[in-house]
Each structure stands twice: as structure tokens, then as C-alpha cells.
Structure 1
Amino acid sequence: MKRLTTRVAIVGAGPGGLLLSHLLQLCGVDSIVLERRSRAHVEKRVRAGLLEGGTVDFLREAGLADRLDREGLVHEGFVFRFGARAHRMPFTELTGRTVHMYGQQELVKDLIRARTEAGARLWFDVPDVELRGLETDTPAVRCTVAGEPVEIACDFVAGCDGFHGVSRRSVPPGALTTYERAYPYAWLGVLAQAPPAAEELIYAVHGRGFALHSMRSPAVSRLYLQVAAGESVENWPDERIWKELHTRLDIDGAPELAEGPVLEKSCVALRGFVTEPMSHGRLFLAGDAAHIVPPTAAKGLNLAVADIKVLAAAFREFYETGDRGPLDGYSAACLPGVWQAQEFSDWMSRLLHRPAEGRVFHERLQHARLEAVVHSPAAARNFAENYVGLARERTPARGGRP
């Protein structure tokens, strides 16, 4: 078995793992990144594309935002459509913050290029990853690289391999507490070669269910429909998709939705998930390995970057001074913001989606809440601060569980 050494072994080459590797190199800390999927697969995975202003600022500070600044679409508001009317939410006017629309796969491409140009040890197609000795001072990662068995001795392991990855599953039963919620509906997501019908996002509340009009570029639209939990893509031919999108999104006086070839479509279950703590021994979990939020408020990628910001600073402190305090405080620093994002994502999901039951009563409550958000300055400001990430940034860290 080939034996290698590194300071931090990073499992997962999504945005979190790649960003952590980049930040560690900036402070002189060696890492190895292992990804079980191919590079082509990782670069094509379509995920949420809304980046909060704080996320964009951090990527700029890290020297990773050149293409994002050239090609990202800057938004200063979005539109609610309900009751056959359109209501604009001017979140930049309310908070001073913008958001960028920039596909997660595009950020991943930027990160992979930066890591490759820096000569980083970034390995794809790595199956059979096994974590060992997490509760000792000498953890190790065993895997297969180019058909050859490899053992990587390291100081720490960063689990950035998502909800279904090996990292969290390597923790002994009972060492972590998990909190979960499954929502009674799902999203049918569509990527279409069609120009967006509007320059800003449209959140549409309709009697047939929620719909979202988003975009990836001036020529490519990203569209979502609320569907039943467990719904199959096979039940949604393109003609049915466009018909339902028109029904839920079109209102009198608004630009009509443009149709085009459907490039991709998939059904995504909505769920909330948090693990506490976000570490065990020498293992630190980040991003979807530690928490999942429903996509309604587009917090997933932003939460992953927030985790990595804290984790990278803690590693830097440890290697510069030997102080493990920030690493030991990693969960306490991250979890309040995670739960704040969970709360807002849950609230926004209930605000926008048609319920599975109790429909009439819920519709009246939903309408009252929407009217408050668009007509009350205090409610609008509170909503905007949550939407752009300001509320989460102001959430203080805590020492211990509630």
C-alpha cells in the first residue's frame, strides 16, 4: 500500500472542499482533496446559483471571483406574484446588499482551475474512501487512487462530501445528534435554453402550487415547480412542464414566459437536516455533510462557504500558534447561523408552497403573511435581511447546546 502524508485530508471536491484547500494553501497548510466522482461529473452538477453579498465578498478576498464578477448577474430585488399581482421586494434598497446569480457548477469550475494551476493534490475518481483513527492523534484515510491502494496519514480530516458521503457515516453511532424534517412536497427543476422573461427572480404563489423563475445567464433559464413528494420526472414531459409554468407564472401585463429546449430536469425532495456537533475527534464536517436546508431561500451554498470560512481560520490558528481552541469551538461558531438559516428557509417554504392538507385555512394565512411582507416596512426589512444573509451574519456564536 502506498503511504502519503498531509496536514488536512479533505473528502469531497464540491465548493466547500475545494475552497478549504485553496484557503489552506494561502496560509501554507498542505492538503489532499479526494473526490469519488469524475471531474466532468462534478463540473456539470447543477445546483443553486444564488450567492449572498457576504459570500461574494469572501470569494473576492480569496482571489476567486474574477469570472464571477465578469459573468455573474447582480440582483437588487425580486418579484412576488400572488393574487394575480406582482410585488417587488427591493432588498438592496432595504439592506444595502446585493446578491449574485452564478451557477454553483461555475464556481466549482473556477475552484478546480485555481487548485489545478496551483499544483494541488486534487484527485477525482477515488472510490472506497475509508476514514480511520478519527478519535486518535493519528487519523488516516484509505482509498484507491488510479487502481492503487493508498493510505494518507494526516492531522485532521475535513468531511465535505455531502449528505450521502462517507464522512458523517464514519462517526460511531450515538456520537452525533441529528435533527430532521421531511417536507410534504418536492421541486421539479428545469434548465432550459430560453432567455429569462424577467431580469429578476420571480416567486409565484398559485393555487396549483409554487413556481420559481430564475436564470443562469441571459440565454439560459432555471425554473422550478412544486410537485408532490416522491414525484417522478417521467410524469412530466416537456409540454406539461411548460403548460404548468405558464399557468403559475403568467399574469396580466407581465412579459410572457419564453419557451425553449429543456436541457435538464430533475425532482428534488425538500428536507431540513442538522447534525450536532459538526465535528468528532479529528473529523470536521462542513456544508451538506453537516446540514441540509430546503432550497426555497437558496442558503445551502452560502452556509457551506460560511462553514469553510470558520474552519479555515481555525486551522490557520492551530498551525500558526498551536492553539486548538478555535477548532474545538467550530460547531459552536457555526450552528447558530445554521439554525437561523433553517428557520428562515422553513418559514419561506411555508410562505410560498401549497400545503398537502388544510388548504383553505392555510391559503388565508399565506395571503395575510404575503401582504404583510410586501406592505409593512418592518416586515419587508426583516425579510430582506434574512434573504441577503445579514441576519445570519449577526447571529452570535454560542457555547454549548440550547
Structure 2
Amino acid sequence: MSTQVCIIGAGPSGLLLGQLLNDAGIDTIILERSSLDHVLARVRAGVLEQGTVQLLEQAGAGARMRAEGLPHDGFAITRENDTHRIDLARLTGGKNVMVYGQTEVTRDLVDRRAETGGITYYQADSVQPHEFDSATPHVTCRIGGEEVRINCSFIAGCDGFHGASRRAVPEGAIQSFEKVYPFGWLGILSEVPPVSHELIYASHSRGFALCSMRSMTRSRYYIQCNAGDSVDAWSDAQFWTELRRRLPPEIAESMVTGPSFEKSIAPLRSFVAEPMRFGSLFLVGDAAHIVPPTGAKGLNLAASDVHYLFEGLRSHFLERDDSALDAYSQRALTRVWRAVRFSWWMTTMLHRFPEQAPFETRILETELGYTLDSEAARAALAENYVGLPY
């Protein structure tokens, strides 16, 4: 079996890259170790930068997002009992974000690939890239119990933090940077109307909380919890009680509660692997970097990686120009580190850390107060939140 680009992973980044390449006339095969049902059941973030929205539209997968997504021109930050609105549109010259669940993004890209005849193999076992530092890169796997070799010109590793792509890189060729945070996010999905038409980020002495949504009838809420907590230790009633404690009274009192139909705890970490290219193998999205969800950057960083890699591959195949491909790692990492910094800053400023010294507590309270009181600081926050330019 042969193709021009073999893409490992059928999450949003792999599907988006595959669609952009296919639409440009560049052959791709996508390999995914999970079933399609499992891929479509993954619950992830849902705040899209304008760059991500534009890439989805470029790939022909933006119609339902435009019809059902929720454009947001701002969000709120609460500090104990005070509420402050960050006016994204005013502070950034008219830019905003789109609230549209990653599950829906994935579904739209799956449908688009099927419409255009793209080849995706689900439940591909033992996927492994080979000889990407030579003239004969290829990927081996098992499809339907049969051993398969896929010869290709390039391999795109879009298979996430635990995937085979980064693990295939020789240890001495890659450097990793990591920070693990001593808490997690306990999140629920519930078929109740959101407490606000915009997101609310809550900083409270009891811990962080986030009020988000997937639609005007489906809410996504989070509270900071201990890193070792178990989902089973939290009943719905306990969750709602704790969430309300961390919100200003007028917001807490207006909240509609109900049973959760999904509940999980997400650990928080910052992680970057450098470089992001190894011969014919390119790391994309979570395979190369992880950010805490506080800054809403995970999916959006994967999209910007896709943008840079698509530009490089298109120029290589259609224009015989390798300059953009050679610059992929540097261009992607520049934007990655800026997003990592922003996500770390938001996480540090809004959360309470275990065994935090009184001095550190006062510094972070002052940092948040300055950010909310300063026009320049709010503008910097808004600029990063809507997404830095590619």
C-alpha cells in the first residue's frame, strides 16, 4: 500500500490535515487505533479560535459549526464575590471565539472525509512508523488482522500524547519539557441551560471553577479538585454544592442543576517536545505538546500545527519548494511556547495550590487584581485568548 502522506491518528488534527491535503490533490491515508464510535464519543474542549474556525471552513467542514456554534465576544472572571467581564471584541478590534464542542468538530471532519472519498482505517493495531530518517519512510500496522506496510513520502504523527509517533523517535534526538500541576479538573456534562451566555472563570479561596456550555441546553462545568480524587467520590449533589460555593451569590442562585450524563477528572500538565520534525516524521498536536485547559489552547494549538504542516506539504508537492516544510518545527514551536506560557499564567493566577505560602497567595491575588484593573493587561489577556496570529 502506498500514499504520499500517512497520517497516524484520526482525531481533529489528523482529520483536518488529511482533508486539507486531499482537497489540494495530495494523497493521504489515516490510521486510527480506536473504533469510529470511540473517536466520536471522546469529550473534549469546545472553545475555538478564529484561526481554527477558518481552517475548518477551508476544509469544507464549517457549515454546521456556523449554524449551531455559539460566537462569544467576551467572558467573565469572578474573584470571590466580584464579577469582571473581559470584552474580547472591544479589546482585540472585533475578534471573538466560537464555542463548539470538539466532538462535533470531529464528527464534521469524519463526515467531510467520507463525502470526499478519503481513506481512513479504524481499529488499526500495532501502528508503527519506520525509517523516517531515510529515503524509504513507511508505517506498519495490522488492519483486520492482516499485516500491512504503507510506503509514503511523509508521516504525520497526530496520535496524541500516548501515541506511537513520539515514542518512535530515538531518545537522544528529542528533548522534553514538563510541568505537572498538583490538582485536576472535575468536569460534568448536564442537560441544563448554562448559567450565563458567556463563559465564567472563577477564582475562589476554595479553588478554581469554570462555567461553560456546549449549547443553550447543555452545560459543561468544572471545579478544581485534588490530583488524587476519584470520580466515584463525587456525587452530582456534592459537585453542584461545591460549584455554587465558588461563584458569586447572584450567579449561584440562578444556576439550574440536573443529573450529569458524563463525569470525569482531567489531570493538568504542561508538556512540550522539541523539535517537532525528525526527517520525514512530523509531530502534530498532543503528540508534541499538552497545555492545561485553562487557556482553551489544546485543540487550537493542534490546528495551528496543521496549518504550518499543510503549508509545508502543499509547497513541497505542488511547488517543489521545501522552505515552509523546513521551517515547520521552528514556526510551530514559537506559537506553542507562547500558548504554553499563557496557559501556565492563567492556571497559576486562577487556581489555589496545595501548601501555597501566604506570600505566594498575596502575589497571585495581586496579579489577578492588576489584570482585571488594567486596560493594557486585559488587552493582553484578550489577545492571547482569541489566539495569536499564525
Fold match, TM over 0.5? Answer: yes
Distance 1:139 1:57 in 2: 32
Equivalent residues in 2 for 1:221-236, closer than 5 Å? 221-236=219-234
Matched, 1:89 2:86: yes
Measure the CA separation in 1 of the matches of 2:366 and 2:129.
Answer: 51
Which SS does the other structure have where 1:129 is aligned? strand
The aligned amino acid for 1:249 is L
Aligned counterpart in structure 1 of residue 29 of structure 2, from 28, 32, 36 = 32
Q: TM-score by structure 2 length?
A: 0.97
In structure 1, distance between residues paired with 2:376 and 2:325: 38
Match of 1:22 in 2: 19
Residue 148 of structure 1 and its aligned partner are, at CA, apart by 1.6
Q: CA RMSD, aligned part only?
A: 1.3
Deviation, 1:192, is 1.1
Identical positions, percent: 48
Answer whether contact 2:169 2:278 (CA < 8 A) is retained: yes
Q: Deviations over 1:61-96 (max 9, x none)?
A: 332210000000111111111131111111111102
Q: Is the 8 A contact 1:197 1:255 kept in 2?
A: no
Whether 1:194 and 2:187 are equivalent positions in the alignment is: no
Match of 1:8 among 5, 9, 19: 5
Q: Which residue of 1 is the match for residue 283 of structure 2? A: 285
Sort the Cα spacing of 1:250 and 1:194 in 2 relative to 1 into closer, same or farther, 3 A: farther
Which residue of 75, 78, 84 corresponds with 1:78?
75
Residue 255 of structure 1: how far off its partner (Å)? 5.3
**In 1: Cα distance, 2:354 partner to 2:365 partner:** 17
AA aligned to 2:384 is N
* CA deviations over 1:171-223 (Å, ceiling 9, x no partner): 11111111111111111111111110110001111111000000001111001
Match of 2:389 in 1: 393
Q: d(CA) in 1 for partners of 2:49 and 2:292?
A: 16
Q: Which one-letter code corresponds to 1:328 in the other structure?
A: D
- Offset of residue 240 of structure 1: 1.0
Give the partner amino acid of 2:229.
E
**C-alpha contact (below 8 Å) 2:51/2:304 kept by paired residues:** no
Q: Cα deviation per residue 1:69-128 (whole Å; 9 max; x = unaligned)?
A: 000011111111113111111111110211010000100000000001111111111111
Are 1:103 and 1:216, in contact at CA under 8 Å, matched by a contact in 2?
Answer: yes
1:366 to partner: Cα distance: 2.4
Q: What does residue 400 of structure 1 align with?
A: none
Q: Distance in 2 between matches of 1:300 and 1:254?
A: 29
Alignment match, 2:380 = 382
Give the TM-score normalised by the residue count of structure 1.
0.94
Alignment of 1:203-352 (within 5 A): 203-252=201-250, 256-352=254-350
Aligned to 2:137: 139
Equivalences, count: 389
* Alpha-carbon distance in 1 for matches of 2:207, 2:4: 49
Q: Which residue of 1 aligns with 2:39?
A: 42
Q: Secondary structure at the match of 1:37?
A: coil
How far is the alpha carbon of 1:17 from its aligned partner?
0.3
The alpha-carbon deviation at position 383 of structure 1 amounts to 1.0
Q: Find the partner of 1:66 among 41, 63, 85.
A: 63
User: Which consecutive residues of structure 2, in runs of 5 or more, have no partner in the other structure?
Assistant: none
State the Cα distance separating 1:57 from its structure 2 match. 2.2
**In 1, Cα distance between equivalents of 2:251 and 2:208:** 20
Identify if the C-alpha distance between structure 1 residues 359 and 251 changes in structure 2 by more than 3 Å, giving closer, same or farther: farther
Q: Is the 8 A contact 1:250 1:256 kept in 2?
A: no
Distance change in 2, residues 1:253/1:121 (3 Å): closer
State the alpha-carbon separation in 1 of the partners of residues 237 and 201 from structure 2. Answer: 22
Instruction: Look up the match of 2:356.
Output: 358
Q: Any conservation in 1 of the 2:16–2:109 contact (CA below 8 Å)?
A: yes
Preserved contact between residue 155 and residue 282 of structure 1 (Cα < 8 Å): yes
Q: Classify 1:182/1:253 alpha carbon distance in 2 versus 1 (closer, same or farther; 3 Å).
A: closer
Aligned with 2:105 (options 83, 104, 107): 107
Match of residue 56 from structure 1: 53
Alpha-carbon distance between aligned partners in 2 of 1:260 and 1:361, rounded to the nearest angstrom:
39
Q: Distance in 2 between matches of 1:105 and 1:206?
A: 30
- In structure 2, the CA distance between the partners of 1:359 and 1:203, relative to structure 1 (3 Å rule), is farther
Conserved? CA contact 1:230–1:269, under 8 Å: no
Structure 1 gap ranges (5+): 395-402
Q: Distance in 2 between matches of 1:253 and 1:78?
A: 14
Q: How has the CA–CA distance of structure 1 residues 80 and 359 changed in structure 2, closer, same or farther, with 3 Å as cutoff?
A: farther
What secondary structure does 2:250 align onto? Answer: coil
How far apart are the structure 2 equivalents of 1:343 and 1:158?
25
